């Protein structure tokens, strides 16, 4: 039904014996959805495809989480949705609101900070290596 977590399972093989969940994504679905919606309206399935652009293998994405996050974003007023049924399958199309754009602006700051932190992490790791 859902071919999911194939690649992650391979990692599991390699990481056998490690009790920490390394592949757990963190705080990424919500800001990513806002980001893509800031570029234009989209429906959920489309957004799942687009998450791959950021480097996540489609197979590893929790589809349920995407839809759930979209519903929550709407409940909070960051996006708005409507049903579209032209050509076949009806789909719920999302649009970002101005509130959503403001939230994304805050996220960008966090993303930049986090990127800097990860960069420092890598630099420290590589120090004094032969």
Residues that bind a second copy (CB under 8 A): 14-15, 17-20, 22-24, 26-28, 30-32, 35-36, 38-39, 53-56, 76, 99, 102-104, 106-108, 110-122, 124-125, 127-128
Contacts of DNA in 5-44 (CB under 7 A): 5, 8, 20-21, 23-30, 43-44
Task: Give, as ranges, the residues between 84 and 103 that touch DNA (CB under 7 A).
Answer: 87-89, 91-93
Which lies closer to DNA via its Cβ, residue 74 or residue 119?
Answer: 74
* Closest CA relative to residue 59, chosen from 101, 12, 17, 125: 12
Which residue's CB is nearer to DNA, number 21 or number 98?
A: 21
Residue with tokens 């960069």: 119
* Closest separation in Å from C-beta 3 to a second copy: 21
- Smallest distance, Å, CB 89 to a second copy? 27
Q: Are 70 and 81 in contact (CB under 8 A)?
A: yes
Which residues of this protein are in contact with DNA, per CB under 7 A?
1-3, 5, 8, 20-21, 23-30, 43-46, 60, 62-65, 67-71, 87-89, 91-93
């Amino acid at each position: 039904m859902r071919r999911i977590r194939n690649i992650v399972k391979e990692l599991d093989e390699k990481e056998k014996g490690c009790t920490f969940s390394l592949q757990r994504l963190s705080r990424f679905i919500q800001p990513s959805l806002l980001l893509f919606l800031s570029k234009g309206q989209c429906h959920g399935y489309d957004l799942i495809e687009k998450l791959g652009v950021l480097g996540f293998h489609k197979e590893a994405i929790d589809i349920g989480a995407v839809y759930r996050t979209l519903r929550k974003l709407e409940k909070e007023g960051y996006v708005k949705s409507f049903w579209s049924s032209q050509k076949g399958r009806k789909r719920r199309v999302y649009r970002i609101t101005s509130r959503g754009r403001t939230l994304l602006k805050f996220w960008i700051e966090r993303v930049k900070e986090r990127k800097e932190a990860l960069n420092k992490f890598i630099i420290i790791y590589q120090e004094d290596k032969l």
